[in-house]
Amino acid sequence: MGQRVSKSLQEKSKEIIIVIKTILVTGGAGFIGSNFVRYIYNKYPDYKIIVLDALTYAGFIENLPVDINKENGDRLSFWYGNVKNGELVDTLVSQSDVVVHFAAETHVTRSIYDNYIFFETDVLGTQVIANAALKYKNHVERFIHISTSEVYGTARSEKMNEEEPLMPMSPYAAAKVGADRLVYSYWATYELPFVIIRPFNNYGPYQHLEKAVSRFITSCILDEPIRVHGDGSVARDFIFVEDTCRAIDRVMHADIEKVKGEIFNVASEHHRTILSIAQDVVRMMGKDESIIKFIGDRPGQVFRHTGDIAKIQRILGWSPEISWEEGLGKTIEWYRKNRHLWEKQLWMRAVPIITKSGKRELH
């Protein structure tokens, strides 16, 4: 069957013999997906990675760790296609030992403006790939579904653990709840080895400019005003993308008995307001705070998110390793050095919506 994991990993977890050959990554040309592909590609030279991505406005072939025109396909192959295409998904899942499902429409504001494709991709796309995992259950050792903290809505407790009620506040969040519960039902019904991961807000290299941290940084580089929704008091738990990749790696290599049917938050356990993030970016990039401008608040806004990571710490020994200051510094450096990669997204930054106060605005 598959190959064994690299020697160093075997030494760390001697009691587990993990046999992994091929990993299918959906949405691997997007932000977190491409960081994950790069992480696995560099860490596990024995693994084969298959990327399936529809290259929507948010996916870029240049995000992958190799030039796929030159790569011979032995270690990393790219399939341009849609997760809703059952024929293609069956073909790829049937060759895979592990599936990591990132592919989704992901921009909250865009889901307020036009949500049809969110339900199509996030819910029906997940159904297609979960059905394929069911069909090839003798081959697929585990299916890791990437859900999101947005499924919880605004925090009701100091820190939100995996038992927090699911109260989605936007069409994006509702679509992700649909996918999350669909995957859970496949575990409950068919006892298939599904694991659900709920990352909190990620930031880092390769993030689309429609998201707050990358937009703030690139606005500073371009000498533009920084646009902050409402009064900037909404708060989120931000986690550096490499820490998320390490968490998924832990789930991928854990004893399956410890993780199947489980849900894991991936967070920093600290929340920070969007205004304080804008101020940190401005300070670290040597700009004046007067460039921060306030625009109308987004409807369906989540007021605060703070994750509880006790479960993943206890079961898998994972904790974040990169501090906010360090992660933000690395992210700023990446955007400074890679203008050629993000410049082509400039036209996609603004979405027309009607704000809480009823005004029509570009967000």
Ligand X SMILES: NC(=O)c1ccc[n+]([C@@H]2O[C@H](COP(=O)([O-])OP(=O)(O)OC[C@H]3O[C@@H](n4cnc5c(N)ncnc54)[C@H](O)[C@@H]3O)[C@@H](O)[C@H]2O)c1
Task: Return the residue of 18, 23, 50, 58 that touches ligand X, per CB under 6 A.
Answer: 58
CB of 29 to ligand X, least distance (A): 4
Q: Is 248 in the site for ligand X (CB under 6 A)?
A: no
Task: Return the residue of 18, 23, 24, 27 that touches ligand X, per CB under 6 A.
Answer: 27
Q: Is 30 in the site for ligand X (CB under 6 A)?
A: yes
Task: Return the residue of 20, 32, 51, 209 that touches ligand X, per CB under 6 A.
Answer: 32
Q: Is 320 in the site for ligand X (CB under 6 A)?
A: no
Residue with smaller CB distance to ligand X, 18 or 107: 107
CA distance 242 to 248: 10
Interface mask toward ligand X for 108-137; x: CB under 6 A? -------------x---x------------
CA distance 355 to 362: 9
Please list the residues that pair with 228 across neighbouring strands. 294
Determine contact, residues 291/301, Cβ cutoff 8 Å. no
Q: In this structure, how many other beta carbons lie within 10 angstroms of the beta carbon of residue 273?
A: 16
Q: Is 199 in the site for ligand X (CB under 6 A)?
A: yes
Number of residues that bind ligand X (CB under 6 A): 30
Integer CA distances (angstroms), 308 to 156, 163, 195, 260, 267, in order: 12, 10, 18, 20, 7
Task: Return the residue of 96, 170, 202, 306 that touches ligand X, per CB under 6 A.
Answer: 202
Among the residues of 166-309, which ranges form H helices? 171-190, 212-221, 241-253, 256-259, 274-284
Please choose, out of 49-57, 182-190, 283-291, 338-346, the segment that lies near ligand X by the rule CB under 6 A. Answer: 49-57
CA distance 168 to 150: 6
- Our CA angle for 358, 152, 330, nearest 5°, is 90
CB of 286 to ligand X, least distance (A): 26
Closest by CA to 159, choosing from 59, 270, 13, is 270
- The SS3 call for residue 219 is helix
CB of 220 to ligand X, least distance (A): 20
Residue with smaller CB distance to ligand X, 16 or 88: 88
Please choose, out of 89-97, 102-110, 311-319, 341-349, the segment that lies near ligand X by the rule CB under 6 A. Answer: 102-110
Please say whether the dihedral angle defined by the alpha carbons of residues 122, 123, 128 and 129, taken in this order, is positive or negative: positive
Please choose, out of 42-50, 181-189, 201-209, 269-277, the segment that lies near ligand X by the rule CB under 6 A. Answer: 201-209
Q: Is 345 in the site for ligand X (CB under 6 A)?
A: no
- The SS3 call for residue 60 is coil
Determine contact, residues 117/107, Cβ cutoff 8 Å. no
Please say whether the dihedral angle defined by the alpha carbons of residues 190, 181, 321 and 108, taken in this order, is positive or negative: positive
Q: Is 146 in the site for ligand X (CB under 6 A)?
A: yes
CA distance 116 to 206: 26
CA distance 29 to 31: 7
CA distance 287 to 303: 27
Q: Is 39 in the site for ligand X (CB under 6 A)?
A: no
Please choose, out of 71-79, 90-98, 196-204, 329-337, the segment that lies near ligand X by the rule CB under 6 A. Answer: 196-204
CB of 6 to ligand X, least distance (A): 26
Q: Is 55 in the site for ligand X (CB under 6 A)?
A: yes
CB of 19 to ligand X, least distance (A): 26
Please choose, out of 4-12, 50-58, 253-261, 300-308, the segment that lies near ligand X by the rule CB under 6 A. Answer: 50-58
Q: Is 178 in the site for ligand X (CB under 6 A)?
A: no
CA distance 89 to 173: 24
Query: Site residues (CB under 6 A) for ligand X?
Result: 26-27, 29-33, 53-56, 58-59, 82-84, 102-106, 121, 125, 146, 148, 176, 199, 201-202, 208
